[in-house]
Amino acid sequence: MLDGERGEGVRFAMEVVTRVGDIYGAEKLVQISSSHVLGHYSSLHDAGVEMMERFTGSKASFRVPTTVDPISIEPERWRDLKIQSSYAEKQMRLTNALMGLGVIPSFTCTPYECCNVPRHGEILAWSESSAVAYVNSIVGAKTNRLTAGLDVSCAITGLTPYFGLLIPENRFGQVLIEVKKRKLGNLHFHTIGYIIGKTVGNRIPVVTGLPLDAKNYQLKGLASAAASSGSVALFHAVGISPDARNVDQAFGPNELEDKIVIDESGIREAEDEITTSRENPDFVAIGCPHYSIPELIELAHMVKGKRVKRNVEFWVYTSKHVAAYIREMGILQTIEASGIRVLTSTCAVISPIKEWGFKVMMTNSAKFANVIPSEHKIDVYYAPLKDLIEYATKGE
């Protein structure tokens, strides 16, 4: 591939994969089963558009099933969301180039719930930090936390450098996290993830004390928060993760470096720390990571017959295939009847929401709460869904 016999785009991609592999001491390149890539204009910029069009222009294509993260515009309704057409056009060029490469147009950060479902032990080349943490930790697939540009290069070559978390010896635990709180609500999973990320940085945590009947979406929340507040790409939830039936298996030959206890008061402190303002939120945003069907069913139950007040925008982000299912179920209609907007294929982190002039965002997502203040200069009020709905519908 490096000699260009398969075209300029493939040679370019192969050079990126090979050079990154050389730098990080990869002894070989290995075949991947699937890829998940970034394609949002807000971070790829004009340079990312030019890179992607260069691949498409040279007739390169993805060699493995490849899904894509959310994008910077709502494909159908961007005009209603105060997005300028010059900005939307850039995103559409990027989307078209990805389609030219053969991407599965998933536009979601949770592809593992639908159209790109990895298996235990498979080697992948994925980006999107929350998805990487989830598939490494809960599914037991193996991927490094890839970067924009390297992800598409792996997908085009079907290869990835063999280093980091692909090597079994590098996947054992280093830090023990003991969760000492019973009866965990949805928000607690996010908060625990946030504390873990803050505490361990990029070391591999082994987490005990999580309920064995934790829901997938709760673990998704924990994974996204830990990947956002730290750079956790793999954690072991003892009794849940396939490679962590018990603490000994999770640590393998490693010595315990550190032990941290997360209790009721630690969780409360962290929740206070995440909130930056409680002054009259004008924006309520949920669905980070993208809301799943059970979460939307719960939302519909909670908002049925209620109405969002006039001075508050309430948005929920999900994927378009989940939206299609809940429309067929009648759930989407219940949610929309309350005044909540169900937005697909995008999210508040990567889309331009500046035009709305929001001051304080209320959310039940620790990742939103962690990222939004620096991306959009908006304050955040972090609280459980029940409080969000109560606030947004009070007095209507």
Please answer whether residues 55 and 152 qualify as being in contact, where contact means their C-beta atoms are separated by less than 8 angstroms: yes
> Interface with other proteins includes 48 (CB under 8 A)?
yes
| Cα 93-160-128 angle, rounded to 5 deg | 50
CB of 1 to other proteins, least distance (A): 14
Q: Which of 6, 43, 309, 336 binds other proteins (CB under 8 A)?
A: 43
CB of 384 to other proteins, least distance (A): 26
Number of Cβ within a 10 Å radius of residue 319: 25
Nearer to other proteins, 105 or 373 (CB): 373
Both tokens assigned to 188: 């607690």
Window 312 to 371, contacts with other proteins (CB under 8 A): 371
Nearer to other proteins, 15 or 273 (CB): 15
Nearer to other proteins, 45 or 180 (CB): 45
Interface size with other proteins, residues (CB under 8 A)? 31
Q: Which stretch binds other proteins (CB under 8 A): 43-51, 70-78, 240-248, 273-281?
A: 43-51
Cα torsion 285, 290, 296, 302: sign: negative
CB of 43 to other proteins, least distance (A): 4
- How many Å apart are CA 76 and CA 258, to the nearest integer? 49
Query: What is the contact mask toward other proteins in residues 117 to 156, using x (rule: CB under 8 A)?
Result: ----------xxx--------------xxxxxxx------
CB of 321 to other proteins, least distance (A): 24
> Interface with other proteins includes 45 (CB under 8 A)?
yes
CB of 195 to other proteins, least distance (A): 18
Q: Which of 3, 28, 47, 213 binds other proteins (CB under 8 A)?
A: 47
> Interface with other proteins includes 53 (CB under 8 A)?
no
Nearer to other proteins, 146 or 383 (CB): 146
Nearer to other proteins, 153 or 344 (CB): 153
**Which element (helix H / strand E) includes 290?**
strand 283-291
Nearer to other proteins, 131 or 238 (CB): 131
Q: What is the CA radius of gyration of the chain?
A: 21
**Which element (helix H / strand E) includes 324?**
helix 320-329
- How many Å apart are CA 250 and CA 371, to the nearest integer? 30
SS3 381: strand
Collect all residues with Cβ–Cβ distance below 8 Å to 363 and sequence separation of at least 6.
Answer: 284, 285, 286, 288, 369, 372, 380, 381, 382, 383, 388
Collect all residues with Cβ–Cβ distance below 8 Å to 89 and sequence separation of at least 6.
Answer: none
Q: From residue 314, how far is each of 309, 358, 389, 391 by CA, in Å?
A: 9, 12, 9, 11
Window 4 to 33, contacts with other proteins (CB under 8 A): 12, 15-16, 19-20, 23-24
Q: Using omega within 30 degrees of 0 as the cis cutoff, is the peptide bond preceding 289 cis?
A: yes
Q: Which of 85, 86, 311, 374 binds other proteins (CB under 8 A)?
A: 374
Q: Which of 282, 298, 375, 387 binds other proteins (CB under 8 A)?
A: 375
Q: Which of 6, 54, 278, 309 binds other proteins (CB under 8 A)?
A: 54
Q: From residue 290, how far is each of 65, 108, 122, 124, 356 by CA, in Å?
A: 21, 7, 24, 21, 21
Q: Which of 1, 32, 38, 288 binds other proteins (CB under 8 A)?
A: 38
- How many Å apart are CA 32 and CA 345, to the nearest integer? 25
Nearer to other proteins, 155 or 244 (CB): 155
Q: Which of 1, 10, 29, 44 binds other proteins (CB under 8 A)?
A: 44
CB of 269 to other proteins, least distance (A): 21
CB of 102 to other proteins, least distance (A): 21
CB of 45 to other proteins, least distance (A): 4
CB of 36 to other proteins, least distance (A): 12
Window 228 to 287, contacts with other proteins (CB under 8 A): 231
- How many Å apart are CA 61 and CA 13, to the nearest integer? 11
Q: From residue 377, how far is each of 163, 271, 348, 357, 373 by CA, in Å?
A: 37, 20, 12, 10, 5
The residue ranges that bind other proteins (CB under 8 A) are 12, 15-16, 19-20, 23-24, 38, 43-48, 50-51, 54, 127-129, 144-150, 231, 371, 374-375
